[in-house]
Amino acid sequence: MEDNFLIIGFILFFVVASLFITWWTSRTNKSAADFYVAGKGVPWIQVGIAMVGSYLSAASFLGCAGDIGVFGIDSIWISIGFFGGYMSLLFLIAGPLRNVGSFTVAGALHRRYPDNKIKFAITVCTIVVSTFYLVPQMIGAGALFTMLLGWDFLWVTIGIGTLVSTYIIFGGMKSTLYNQVLQALFLWATMIAIIILSYFTIGDGFLDALNTAARAVPPLLSGKNPAVVEALSSMTNADSMQAIEVTRQLMPDAPSVMTLGVKTGSSLAMISMVIALIFGTAGLPHILVMFFTVPNARAAKKSVAFCISALALFYLAAIILGFLLFPAIYPKLVSWISQGPTGVGMAKNMAVLEIGMLVGGKWLVAIAAAGAVAAVLSTSAGLMITVASAFSNDIYKVYVNPNATDKQGIRVARITTIVMSVTAVTFATILRDENVAWLVTLGFGIAASAIFPAMLGTLWWRRATRQGIITSVWVGLSVSMFFIVLLLTDVKSFIGLPTGGGPGIFGVGAAFLTLWLVSINTKDTGKNADEFLTLAHAPDTD
C-alpha cells in the first residue's frame, strides 16, 4: 500500500506540474501561430528535448527492454530501428521541411502543389497514422495502471485522455512543448538511473550478461514448459542464475536467448519491420510538425541532432537492460509467461519496473512508473495537437469554412482534440489485449508508406509531379492498410509475401514505384518547382 502511495504521489506530481505549465503557457497564447506552432520561435534545444519526449512512448520505455526479456536477441532491432529513423529525418527532411512549412505537413506539400487534394490526402494519412500511434499509448497507460495499482482500465484511459486534452485545449503547442520537455527529462533520467544501478549491481557487466544469456532458454519457451514452471515456482529473483541452469537441464536442446529466429522465422518480415522504422519516423506527422516551432532550418537540424544523441543513449541503455533482465529476474519472467497471453504482456511491460525494484527499491519503481506515465502523456499530447491542427487547417479551413477566422479555426482544433481523445479511448477499450509495441510499429509502416515518399519527392525531386505525389500517398496508404488488415485477420502471407513484419517494405516499395512511374508520365511539377526547391534548400542562417 505504501508503494502505491509513492507511485500515486509521483504521478500526481506530473499531473499538477502539467496543469501548472498549461495555465502558465495559456496566458501567452495570443495568435494562431502561438496555438499551432508555439509562435515559431522556440529555442532548438528545447524543441530537441521535447522531440525526445514526443518520441519516447511507453513502448520505448518499458517495451524495448521487456521484449528482449521475453524473446531474446531477436528483439534488439526494435530499439535500433526506433533510433535509426531519426537519421533519415535529419539528413533528408528536417531542414528543407522547416524552410517550406507553416503549420502542418500537408501545408508544406501544398506550397509546391497548390491542390487541395494533396491537403486532403496527407490529412487523412495524418489522422490514420496518429490514431495507430495514439491508441497504443492509451492501451499502455491502461494496462500499466491495471497491473500496477489494480485500477479500472476504462477510467485510466478516460483520465489520460482528459488530461492531455486539457493541455492542448488551453495551452496549445506551447503547453504541449513545455510538458514534453519536463516529461522527457524525467523519463530519460529515469532510464539512465535504472541502467547505471542495474549495470553495477547485477553480475559482472554486459559481456557477463551475454554469457548468461547464451545459457538461458528464452522465457517465451521456458514459461510454456510445465516442468520448468514447476521447478522455478519456489525460486525468487535472487536465484536467477540457478533458475537458468535448472531450465537448461530440463530443456537441453532448446534455443538460447542468443539464438536468432525465436521471435520470427521470416527474415523478410524482419527487414520489412526495420524499413518501416527507418522511413516511418521521417513520416510521423507529430514529429514533423515540431520543426515548425523553431526559428529556422539550422535550428531544426540542431534539434534533431540533439534528439538523436539523447535517443542513442536511451536505446543503448534499453538494449543493455534487456540482457541484464536474465541474470536479474529470470524466475519472474518465466512465472509471467506461464500465465498465458496476458502474462506475456505483463512480462514485456513490467520487467523494467521489476528490475527497478530489484536495484533501486520502491522509490525507483515509483519513479519508473511515473516515467512511463510521462511517456504516455507527452507522446499522446504531440499526436493529438498534430491531428487537431491538421483537421482545422487542412480540412475545416479548406472544405468547410474557407473564410474561417483564426479564432474559429482554433475552436475547431479544440473540438477535434476532444473527438480524438474520445476516439482513442474507445479504440483502446476495444483493442486492449493487442500488443502495444506492435500497434506502434504498424503506425510507422503507414507513415513510411504513405507520407515519407511524398515528402522526399516534394522536397528533393524536381521532376516529382502533383499527380505522382497524390497517387503515391493513396497507393502507400492503401497497400499498408491492406497488409495491416491481412495481419490483423491472421493471414500469414499474401502472394508469397509474409505479412508478419507489417507493411513496411511493401508499402514503401509500392509508393516509391508509383511516384516514379506517374511522375515520369505527367508534367505538373508544381507552381514553381525551382523556386520551391530554392527556398527548401536555402543556405542556413542562425
Partner 1 sequence: MTKQNRKKTKYASIPNLRKKAIVNFGLFFVFFAFYIFSATLCTPLLRDYAMIPVFGMPICLLSSLLVFPLSGILIAIWFKKGG
Question: Which residues form the interface with partner 1 (CB under 8 A)?
Answer: 73-74, 76-77, 80-81, 83-84, 87-88, 90-92, 95, 207, 210, 258-261, 264-267, 270-271, 274, 278, 301, 305, 308-309, 312, 315-316, 319, 460, 530-531, 533-534, 537-540
Return the closest-CA partner of residue 148 out of 339, 333, 350, 343: 350
Instruction: Give whole-number Cα distances, 222 to 71, 233, 273, in Å.
Output: 11, 12, 26
Q: Which CB, 231 or 262, lies closer to partner 1?
A: 262
Which CB sits closer to partner 1, 111 or 119?
A: 111
Please report how close the Cβ of residue 355 comes to partner 1 at its closest, in angstroms. 20
Burial of 139 (0-12, 13-18, 19+ CB in 10 A): buried
Our CB check for partner 1 shows the closer of 163 and 511 to be 511
Q: Minimum CB separation from partner 1 for residue 174, in Å?
A: 28
How many residues in the chain?
542
Nearest distance, CB of residue 214 and partner 1, angstroms: 9
Pick left, alpha or beta for residue 205 (phi over 0 → left; psi -120 to 50 → alpha; otherwise beta). left
* Nearest-angstrom CA–CA distance, 19 and 16: 5
As measured in angstroms, the least distance from the Cβ of 297 to partner 1 is 9
- Could you tell me the smallest distance in angstroms from the CB atom of residue 27 to partner 1? 37
Q: How far is the CB of 302 from partner 1 (least distance, A)?
A: 9
Nearest in space to 129 (alpha carbons), one of 302, 294, 289, 303 = 289
Q: Which is nearer to partner 1, 305 or 418 (CB)?
A: 305
Alpha carbon distances (Å) from 315 to 7, 152, 217, 343: 24, 31, 24, 24
| Shortest Cβ 104–partner 1 spacing (Å) | 24
The 10 Å Cβ neighbour count of residue 87 is: 14
61 burial type by CB count under 10 A (0-12 exposed, 13-18 middle, 19+ buried): buried
Tally of CA atoms within 13 A in the half-sphere of 412 that contains its CB: 21
Q: Please state the closest distance from residue 518 (CB atom) to partner 1, in A.
A: 21
- Residue 76 vs 328, nearer CB to partner 1: 76
Q: Is the CB of 81 or the CB of 331 nearer to partner 1?
A: 81
Specify the residue for cell string 494533396. Answer: 118
The nearest distance, CB 504 to partner 1, in angstroms, is 11
CA-based radius of gyration for the chain: 23
How near is the Cβ of 538 to partner 1 at its closest, in Å? 7
What is the C-alpha to C-alpha distance for residues 451 and 366, in angstroms, rounded to an integer?
Answer: 38
Ramachandran class of 73: left when φ > 0, alpha when ψ lies in -120 to 50, beta otherwise: alpha
DSSP state of 538: P
The angle that helices 297-337 and 64-71 make with each other, rounded to 10 degrees, is 40
Nearer to partner 1, 254 or 538 (CB): 538
If you search the block for the grid coordinates 538460447, which residue do you land on? 256
Residue 241 beta carbon to partner 1: minimum distance, rounded to whole angstroms: 19
Question: Which of 72/356 has CB closer to partner 1?
Answer: 72
Judged by beta carbon, residue 47 or residue 370, the one nearer partner 1 is 47
Question: What cell was used for 31?
Answer: 495568435
- Name the DSSP class of 498: E
Distance of CA 96 to the CA centre of its chain: 23
C-beta of 260 vs 488, nearer to partner 1: 260
Q: How deeply is 443 buried, as exposed, middle or buried, from its count of CB atoms within 10 A (0-12, 13-18, 19+)?
A: buried
